[in-house]
Amino acid sequence: MQRLDLLQETVFRIRGMTDTVLSGHDKTVLDSYEYMVCRLPAKGFGTLEFDMPQERMDALLKAGEAAMDVYFEQAQVLSAATSTS
């Protein structure tokens, strides 16, 4: 294996381990505060994916904004329902 290939493989493995650790921690926090969590449609996006093309970033942002709109609409309905009880 060439030196560059070895370096790329090492970076790939470290990135995978970091994704796993961060995802596990995130799940613990999400489970603890489920009522405060807005689920974003981010499947297929890596935790450390900072170098994505602009089109991909725009699609992620648009989907996130739509998810937040739904989340806040539901929160307002829930708040209104509990305040009238």
CB 40 within 8 A of CB 63: yes
What CA–CA distance (Å, rounded) separates 27 from 33?
Answer: 10
Structural domain count of the chain:
2
What CA–CA distance (Å, rounded) separates 60 from 43?
Answer: 10
Residues 76, 55, single domain; the answer is: yes
* pLDDT at 85 > cutoff 60: no
**Domain coverage including residue 13:** 1-35
Residues 30, 9, single domain; the answer is: yes
Residues 50, 21, single domain; the answer is: no
Residues 50, 77, single domain; the answer is: yes
pLDDT band at 57 (very low <50, low <70, confident <90, very high): very high
Residues 23, 50, single domain; the answer is: no
What CA–CA distance (Å, rounded) separates 38 from 67?
Answer: 7
Q: To the nearest whole percent, how much of the chain has pLDDT over 90?
A: 25
Residues 31, 57, single domain; the answer is: no
* pLDDT at 32 > cutoff 90: no
Give every CB contact of residue 76 below 8 A, 6+ residues apart in sequence: none
